[in-house]
Amino acid sequence: MGIGKQTKRILITVAGAILLLVGVLLLVLPGPGLLLVLAGLLVLASEFPALEKYVDPVRDRAMKAAEDSVSSPVRIAGSVLAGLALLAAGIVWGTVKSLPFSGWSTGSSLILSSVILFALLGWSYHRVKSRRETGAKASTDR
């Protein structure tokens, strides 16, 4: 027995709204804010076609931000240092009880942010590298 059409629509709406809300929060907190905003919009646009007009501009900005993060060795080093700082902060917040909001709930969220940052950094680097190789091959074929 499958779930009803209305139940499916509600679940998709809730999931999309959560992704969108977390993405907006992560625009000012450490994390992949634009990518989660994009994911939320994609999920919501599957049920609300009027939102599709917002998907492409957000996708363009998210991809540009991902590419900018690996555009130079200095930016890559800065991103790696930021990830290491998040990882260290997570360990410190998880183990030092005298800090405000100390505990593993805060620590694990910081560690998770660092893992996401490293994954996105690797993905962005691979994406930019493959685009450059494709561009270089196209220019030598002429």
Range 20-33 average pLDDT: 75
Dihedral, CA atoms, 118, 120, 123, 128, nearest 10 degrees? -110
pLDDT in tens, 86-128: 899 999 999 999 988 889 988 998 898 888 888 888 888 888 8
CA distances from 67 to 41, 88, 90, 125 (A): 21, 25, 26, 7
pTM exceeding 0.95? no
**pLDDT given at position 94:** 92
* Number of helical (H) and strand (E) elements in the chain, helices listed first: 5, 0
130 pLDDT band, cuts 50/70/90, is confident
